[in-house]
Amino acid sequence: MVEGEVEVGRWIMPWELTRVAALAGVERVRIVAVVGDSMVPTFHPTDRILVDTSDRTPSPPGLFVAWDGLGLVVKRIEYVAHSAPAMLRIVSDNARYAPYERCLGEVEIQGRVIGKWQWA
């Protein structure tokens, strides 16, 4: 575990799933519960996401878990080309939430989303 993390449980899953999904290895993969509706329809509040904590660079852009200066969020994050200072665009999939930008140094990317579980 990484400093500041708390283990709340363990999941058993097929080794092939984690080996194929996370090039970093299973020890760098975390399962995170989705909270809130900002990423609906991609993620719902009851979903669990698989996060590769070794992939913290938003190039290429994609879905990430990050501390945006206000809280821990699951968002689409992309580097704003040619921005000075370097900026990141942070976008929700739910149109009710407006995109916003933060300086690269203000955002702590925790990892890239590489999969999800959803409940029927």
Given strand 62-67, what is the order of strands in its sheet?
29-33, 48-52, 108-117, 62-67, 72-80, 87-91, 100-103
What pLDDT was estimated at residue 118? Answer: 72
Instruction: Report the CATH number at residue 30.
Output: 2.10.109.10
With contact defined as beta carbons under 8 Å apart, do 92 and 29 qualify?
A: no
Residue 63 lies inside a defined structural domain of this protein: yes
pTM of the model: 0.83
Residue 62 lies inside a defined structural domain of this protein: yes
Residue 2 lies inside a defined structural domain of this protein: no
- Domain range for 100 is 15-117
Residue 65 lies inside a defined structural domain of this protein: yes
Residue 86 lies inside a defined structural domain of this protein: yes
What tens digit of pLDDT does each residue of 61-120 get? 999 999 987 888 999 999 999 999 999 999 999 999 999 999 999 999 999 998 887 776
What pLDDT was estimated at residue 109? Answer: 97
Supply 36's token pair. Answer: 């809130």
What DSSP element (H or E) covers 18? Answer: helix 15-21
Residue 71 lies inside a defined structural domain of this protein: yes
What pLDDT was estimated at residue 21? Answer: 60
What pLDDT was estimated at residue 24? Answer: 61
Residue 98 lies inside a defined structural domain of this protein: yes
Residue 4 lies inside a defined structural domain of this protein: no
- With 0-12 / 13-18 / 19 or more C-beta atoms within 10 angstroms meaning exposed / middle / buried, residue 13 is middle
Res. 22: pLDDT tops 80? no
- How many structural domains comprise the chain? 1
What pLDDT was estimated at residue 88? Answer: 96
